[in-house]
Amino acid sequence: MSKARLMQGNEACAEGAIAAGVRFFAGYPITPSTEIAETMAKLLPQYGGKFIQMEDEIGSMGAILGASLAGLKSMDATSGPGFSLKQELIGYAACAEIPCVLVNVQRVGPSTGQPTAPSQADVMQVRWGTHGDHPMIALAPWSVRETYDATVMAVNYSERFRTPVILLMDEIIGHLREKVELPDSVEVYERRKPKKTRAEGYEPYEPDEDLVPNVADFGKGYHIHVTGLLHDATGFPVGSPKVTEESIRRLHEKIARAGDEIIHTEEYFMEDAEYAVVAFGGTARTAYEAVRNAREAGKKVGLLRLMTIWPFADKVIEQLAAKVKGILVAELNYGQVVHEVRRAAQGKCLVELCGKYNMKSFEPKEIEAAIDEMCARRDA
């Protein structure tokens, strides 16, 4: 391990991207994600990579898709207003199976909202912001150190599944500076190359055993056609019900197959817990302190932290709901993850929202009070 140093979440994201092999970044800087672009602009040239500040958010997203198709691991970073603009190209990346990582450091919305204030209200947009049936992988780190790891993971998943991956940060973690020790090296997934030659009948979108196609990078001697129209193994659009159905199913199944392996959650103080708090990102840290205080006061409360937001941790929540009397979902929004928790809990326990949307992050005492209220209601 290298020496401990003070580092910001956004910087750790850029460092993680470099470690994972990202060598192209295009962006249109926006608060509270700007330091990611700044750090990438500084680091990338030192690693033989390219940084481009584009003319706008859509151009940035288009640039990383182009760079990715040409063979470079690519990343872009933004916040709510930019994330909205990039939705169409996120869908394009999902359909055309172009690996890329998009970081969304959430701030208060809707629209321009409150540029410098924390929020966690883009959870559903991450999942459903682009139209049509598509899978989604989104990771939400809760510390500066984990931001580094989650970025590496996001890059690896995007390359392995050939899909856009969203690093769903929030202002709390993006702008937080804390002590970190970065590892000397990380495990990196290298994009797979074609296994056949043209003469052997190579088709760019022919799925491999894991349902992920080995699309050749541009300029490597293969003929490839990339389109947002639904296509068959050749990559050319086909207007048939069969190809359409198979394509949409395969896009989902290539990620569903990995299953639990990409769903990361952590439990704290859960042994003998009768109630649980579910939280993610910066809010989970406050929830941790609230739960620890509640434990010190003799209350049987635990914390389940979601690191993978999408795909949703259905099984974990279902098991939790079977075990506890009530779940409190603490999130910096008007209520988003709480709906998923309710769905996954299948009525097995009480599920309540502890939401906040006034520019301020939670204080531990607010979550403690919400825990008490829930317990009182349930036990009444």
* Residue 7 or 94 having the CB closest to other proteins: 7
Per rule CB under 8 A, is residue 4 in the interface with other proteins? yes
Could you tell me the smallest distance in angstroms from the CB atom of residue 174 to other proteins? 10
Question: Using CB under 8 A, which of 363, 369, 373, 377 touches other proteins?
Answer: 363
Which amino acid makes up residue 225? Answer: H
- Burial grade of 5 (CB within 10 A; 0-12, 13-18, 19 or more): exposed
Residue 309 phi, psi dihedral angles, 5° rounding = -90, -45
* Residue 235 or 281 having the CB closest to other proteins: 281
CA distance 190 to 21: 9
Q: Write the DSSP string, 262-280.
A: G--EEEES-TT-SEEEEEE
Could you tell me the smallest distance in angstroms from the CB atom of residue 356 to other proteins? 13
* Residue 104 or 286 having the CB closest to other proteins: 286
- How large is the C-alpha radius of gyration of the chain? 21
**Angle, in degrees to the nearest 10, between helices 144-161 and 9-19:** 40
- Burial grade of 283 (CB within 10 A; 0-12, 13-18, 19 or more): buried
- Give every CB contact of residue 46 below 8 A, 6+ residues apart in sequence: none
Token pair in block for residue 106: 């959430």
* Residue 148 or 288 having the CB closest to other proteins: 288
Distance of CA 188 to the CA centre of its chain: 18
Could you tell me the smallest distance in angstroms from the CB atom of residue 28 to other proteins? 17
Could you tell me the smallest distance in angstroms from the CB atom of residue 189 to other proteins? 30
Per rule CB under 8 A, is residue 179 in the interface with other proteins? yes
Count of residues that bind other proteins according to CB under 8 A: 23
Per rule CB under 8 A, is residue 356 in the interface with other proteins? no
DSSP character for 150? H
* Residue 30 or 329 having the CB closest to other proteins: 30
Per rule CB under 8 A, is residue 369 in the interface with other proteins? no
* Residue 340 or 368 having the CB closest to other proteins: 368
Per rule CB under 8 A, is residue 42 in the interface with other proteins? no
Q: Which of residues 58-117 bind other proteins (CB under 8 A)?
A: 115-117
Per rule CB under 8 A, is residue 228 in the interface with other proteins? no
Which amino acid makes up residue 20? Answer: A
* Residue 99 or 141 having the CB closest to other proteins: 141
Per rule CB under 8 A, is residue 34 in the interface with other proteins? no
SS3 23: strand
Could you tell me the smallest distance in angstroms from the CB atom of residue 113 to other proteins? 11
Per rule CB under 8 A, is residue 175 in the interface with other proteins? yes
Per rule CB under 8 A, is residue 286 in the interface with other proteins? yes
Residue 104 and residue 76 in contact, taking contact as beta carbons nearer than 8 Å: no
* Residues constituting the chain: 380
Per rule CB under 8 A, is residue 33 in the interface with other proteins? no
Question: Using CB under 8 A, which of 23, 264, 285, 356 touches other proteins?
Answer: 285
* Residue 35 or 97 having the CB closest to other proteins: 35
Per rule CB under 8 A, is residue 172 in the interface with other proteins? yes
DSSP character for 196? S
Query: For 11, how many CA atoms within 13 A lie in the half-sphere containing its CB?
Result: 12
Measured torsion, CA atoms of residues 352, 147, 319, 310, in degrees rounded to the nearest 10: 80
Per rule CB under 8 A, is residue 177 in the interface with other proteins? yes
Q: Which parts of this chain interact with other proteins (CB under 8 A)?
A: 4-6, 31, 115-117, 172, 175-179, 282, 285-286, 288-289, 292, 361, 363-365
